[in-house]
Structure formats: structure tokens, C-alpha cells
Structure 1
Amino acid sequence: MAKKTRKGVAAASSIADIDAAGIKLVQPDRSAPQGKTLLDFAGDQNLFQQADARQRQLNKERGVPKKAGEADSDNDDDDDDDEDEDENDNDAATVSPRAERILDTILWCVSLTMLHFTLDVLVQNQYAVEIEWHVVITRALQALGVFSLIFYNLHRHPSDPRLLPGLPTRFQDPLRQLLFFVTSSVTGCYLVHITNEYSYIAVLKQAPPIGCLWVWAVIELDLKWAVPSLAIAAGYMKLMGYTI
């Protein structure tokens, strides 16, 4: 134990003997770096400009107000990005609003027609009726024409969200929701009624188109209106003692 103590005292005394004069002072290397740095690589790839542009886009989408002094820098960067934005605008403008509305109508109505075709076949199978495919296809094509006309005028297209010309904009969407809410409630209750009260011939003819209108009306509704409309149909079925 005494030996260890003596070693500790000797080490402490040797450290105390070293003074500031015995430490050599060397100036840091201030020469320019050899080769490209990470900042140089980032500048060559315009990563800083891309990051700033991305941040401005995110702030714009989130509704974050611009800070003082950002307007000038935005204008400078916007000048650099004008060509790219013009190219993107030209690409987006290749489809006119009317063409976009027509394509949207075709896409939706083809899907509704396929649903009509499926319901028609299912109803005929339910009543063990021999399926006449040419009749089923004919009815589906007729439904496609009717759906296209209704959908084109009633659906909320982004290019033209107006439902009733002359009505203020703030009333357009509530009016559309009211219309589809009534349609969903009536078609749902009527479909339950005919499947329980009418003959199979009436069900064969009316169930597929009514079912398609019901499905479409529910899809067009917001969730807060779709759920009550379905609840009305369910309540009507329970009130009348019907079954599915």
C-alpha cells in the first residue's frame, strides 16, 4: 500500500514539473482544402435551391405565412424555376376542363354499368331465371346512357363544381348534398320495399337500376350525410318488418 502511495506522489510531482513553457504551440492549418468539399458538391447539384423550393411548397400547402424578407428571395428563385413551371403548366393544360369532365363521367359510368350488369345477373340467379345475355347486355348499355346523362350534370366536377347556375357558390355544395341525401334515402327504402312486396318480374326490372342509384348516391355524400341516409333505410326495413 505504501509502495502505491509513493508511485502516486511521484507521478503527481512529475506532472507539476511540466509548465506552460514546455508545451510547444503550433498554429492550425489555414490552407485551403484539397479537392471539393461537401458544400461544393451540394452547390453543384443545386441541393440548397431544391431544398428551399421544397420548403416553400410545403409552407404553401400548409398555409404557413411567409416571413419578412422571404418575398425577395422567392422572386429570385421563382425566376429560375419559371421555365420548369411553364413546362408543367403546358403538360397539365393538354386536357381541357370539358375533356376532363367527360373522361371523369366515362370512368364513373362504366363502373356503374358494370355494377348494373352484376346486379342484373345476381337477381336472375336468385329467382332461378334462365339468363338471356343479350337482354342483360342491352339493359346495361341503356343504363350506361342514363347514368352518363345524370352523372355529367349532377356530379361535382373539379373543373365546374356548379350544380345550379346563378346560385351563390356557398350554396352549391349543400344543395348537392341535400339532393343526394334524398336520393339515397328514397332509393334505399324503395329497394327494400320492392324486394319484399313486388313480384319477381318487377324486382328483375327495377332492382338493378335502383340499386346502382342507391350506391352512387351514398358515394357522392359526405360521411356525415351518408350514415344517416343508410340509417333511414335500415329503420324503414325494421319498422315495416321486412327482411333482406
Structure 2
Amino acid sequence: MVRERKEKRAKNIKLKQPDRSGPTEKTLLDIAAERNLFKQAAAKERKNKGQQGTQDGEDDDDNDEDDGIPAAAERILETLLYTVSLAMLHLTFDVLVQQQYAIEMDWFKIVQRAVQALMVFAALVYALHPHAAAPTVVPGLPQRYQNPARQTIFLVMGTIAGCYLIYITNKYSYIAVLKQAPPVGCLWVWSIIELNLVLAVASLAGSGLFFWLGGYTIR
């Protein structure tokens, strides 16, 4: 026969204070402290975190290498970006020069000249534009002088292009201007873009000084 356990009524439960005396034997905390278990656990945790951080760093580096574009391919894409932009600028200059002299537009020849300029610009940009894949611009020159040499090349090219553009627009016939002004103008713009701010201002100042000393006009 199953007996039903009778619950004690609350009034039958005697109230008394809990035992506040300390433990008479060693606790688990005392035993762990004696055996330096806490220090061992902390050291093990630091070691695991260090290994995990190193592994995560290696994984991130691997992912960056896998997801990144190779330096050679990046250089080609950057060359295409600059080359196409310069070719479009050449086409724009070509149209503006023909409009200046009120010449009927021959779009086939304009596009043909832009394509020819694109091929020339591609070779120049690939060889001279700074990129991590090609830090050397002058073979045999120490690496610390490569960037100053590159800047010197663009400074000379930009200054000569600017002065020559001013000269031909004032001294040559319109046929010479039609043929030479667009590519020379593109070289001038590109050289100024590649220069740092101080040298770019110096190059423009040199062209401005040539314009002023020569007594040229804008027409």
C-alpha cells in the first residue's frame, strides 16, 4: 500500500539561525590554492589564447593572399586605367582643337588617333608609372634614388611638354597644332599628375615663366 507523505505545516517548522561557523576541514578552494591550480589554469589559458591569435593571424594572411590580386596583374590593370583615361583625354583635346579652327569633324580619324595614342601611352605608363611590382625605373641605380629619379623624369617631361605646347600654339601653323597639341597636352597633364605637389607647382611655374618671357599670348 502506497503511503502518502504528509507535508509539515509551516507552523510546525521551528525557526533557527544558520550555522555561521567556518568549515572544519579544507575546502576545494584551499586545496586548489595549495596545488597552484589557479596559476596553472591561468597560464594554460594565456597559452591557448596566444596560439589561437597566431593561428588567426596566419589564416588572415592566407586569406589576404588568396583574395588579393597578384602584383603583376594589378600593375596591368592600373596601366589600363591610366592609358584609357589618357586616350579619352587625347580624343577630347583633338575635338577641341578641331572646333577651335572650325574644321569639319572626321570621327574615324579622331578615334584612330586616339587608339594610336593609347598604345604609346600604354608603353610609357607601364614603364614609368610607380608601382610596387616595378620599383626600379633606372637600372643599376640604388633603390633609395629610384623615386627621385622618377620624379626628375616627370619634372623634365612635364616642363618641356608645357613649354613646347605654348610654343607650337603661338608659332606653328594650325596643321601642326592639330597634329601635335593633343598628344603633347596629354603628356603634360600626365606628368603633372605623377609629380608631387612641390614639383608639380615648380613645373607649372617654369612653363608660366616661359610663357611670360617669350611674350606669348593665349589664342
Same fold (TM over 0.5): yes
5 Å-filtered alignment, 1:68-107, equals 76-92=52-68, 95-107=69-81
What is the match of residue 215 of structure 2?
A: 241
Matched residues in 2 for 1:99 and 1:153: separation? 15
Give the TM-score normalised by the residue count of structure 2. 0.74
Output the amino acid matched with 1:187.
A
Task: Describe the shift of the 1:80–1:189 C-alpha distance in structure 2 as closer, same or farther (beyond 3 A).
Answer: closer
Matched residues in 1 for 2:170 and 2:56: separation? 68
Shift of 1:75: 5.8
Q: Does 1:143 align with 2:117?
A: yes
Shift of 1:130: 0.5
Matched residues in 2 for 1:84 and 1:163: separation? 33
Paired residue secondary structure (1:167): coil
Matched residues in 2 for 1:108 and 1:77: separation? 41
Shift of 1:84: 3.5
4+ residue runs over 6 A deviation: none
Q: What is the identity percentage for the equivalent residue pairs of Structure 1 and Structure 2? A: 53
Give the TM-score normalised by the residue count of structure 1. 0.67
What is the match of residue 108 of structure 2?
A: 134
Greater alpha carbon shift after TM alignment, 100-109 vs 204-213: 100-109
Task: Describe the shift of the 1:80–1:228 C-alpha distance in structure 2 as closer, same or farther (beyond 3 A).
Answer: closer
RMSD, aligned CA: 1.9
What is the match of residue 181 of structure 1?
A: 155
Matched residues in 2 for 1:172 and 1:81: separation? 33
Shift of 1:77: 1.8
**Structure 2 residue runs without a partner (length 5+):** 1-47
What is the match of residue 162 of structure 1?
A: 136
Matched residues in 2 for 1:142 and 1:86: separation? 42
Matched residues in 1 for 2:209 and 2:50: separation? 58
**Structure 1 residue runs without a partner (length 5+):** 1-71
Shift of 1:111: 0.1
Matched residues in 1 for 2:83 and 2:94: separation? 16
Task: Describe the shift of the 1:228–1:75 C-alpha distance in structure 2 as closer, same or farther (beyond 3 A).
Answer: farther
Structure having greater relative contact order (Cα 8 Å, sep ≥ 6): 2
Q: Deviations over 1:38-77 (max 9, x none)?
A: xxxxxxxxxxxxxxxxxxxxxxxxxxxxxxxxxx976652
